Amino acid sequence: MSEETDRHIPTIPRRMTRLWLLIILIVYLILAIGYGAVNPIFEAPDENHHYFTAHLIKTSRQLPIARQLTGDLIRQEAAQPPLYYVIAALILTPLNSAGAEDFLFSNPAVQLGAADALANINAFVHTTAESWPWQEAGLAVHLLRLYSTVLGLGTLICIFGSGSLVWPQAPERALLATAMIAFLPQFNFLHGSISNDALIIFLAAAALWQLLYFWVKGVTYSRLILLGLTIGLAILSKTAGLILLIYAIGFLLVVAWRDTLPADRTKLIKSSLQLAVVPAI
């Protein structure tokens, strides 16, 4: 964007930036918590499997073994990286999370995914046992939904931080980027349900924020260690974290190439090849 165009973009006073960010985050919380409150239990995609994986870890005090689980309560989630579920199990520890199987009465007439359906849109039959005030397993489900909501809050803060690095003189752009994500219905719906996607999204947003910091302000060893920790946690959250690792390595190589003198770039290439080849050997 040209300097002439930038002159016509209104700039929010810096003292108001935090206030607007707070407003965006509060509205997001209202929307995401609202989705979590009104959506019937286990109607979000795979929500029941995510819940019972966390419940199993809580009750058995060990991680699930995929080849030993053939039932319908957990299914493919038994093979997922465990970080989201371990944290969820810790959240469930003080609660009575048993009895959630009672919410799994399948609706035999369901028209799942039919946009023109006027009835039978839920996969399960729901009763007043799910109504407010939530108790026991119902309370546990909504508490884990709130866990996802908090992770979404962290994602939005990371997006704002990234925007502030990209546009340090235009805070309204960082606010706009944050608001565009905060008010996406699918973002609110996802973060109002039980899903390990919420954790990988947060950690990926945090890693991208750190990478942008390296691009703008340079690489430091302490922040590089923090980035490694973030990506490691992402890998423990979902296998997609491995893609984040590959992306980060490529990004850091580009930063190193940019900051290296032309005479030293041959050494950089050799070092990079050694880094890639030695682990493979």
CB within 8 Å of 241: residues ≥ 6 apart: 81, 200, 203, 204, 231, 233, 234, 235
Q: What are phi and psi of 150, to 5 degrees?
A: -65, -40
If pLDDT is split at 50, 70 and 90, which confidence band does 119 have?
low
Structure-block tokens of residue 39: 């959506």
Q: What is the H or E stretch that residue 258 is in?
A: helix 241-259
Q: What is the pLDDT of residue 258?
A: 78
The DSSP code for 11 is: -
Q: Which residue has the higher pLDDT, 21 or 263?
A: 21
Tokens matching residue 12: 């929010």
More confident residue, 205 or 270: 205
pLDDT for the residue numbered 2: 45
Give SS3 for 106.
Answer: strand
- Please report which confidence band the pLDDT of residue 280 belongs to, taking 50, 70 and 90 as the band edges: very low
pLDDT digits (tens, 9 = 90+) for 49-89: 888 888 888 888 888 877 665 467 777 777 788 999 999 99
Task: Using pLDDT thresholds of 50, 70 and 90, give the confidence band for residue 250.
Answer: confident
Of 105-119, 145-159, 264-278, the range with the lowest mean pLDDT is 264-278
Sort residue 136 into left (φ over 0), alpha (ψ -120 to 50) or beta: left
Residue 182 clears pLDDT 60, i.e. is over it: yes
Residue 155 in contact with residue 181, Cβ under 8 Å? yes
Among the ranges given (117-131, 177-191, 214-228), the one the predictor scored with the smallest mean pLDDT: 117-131
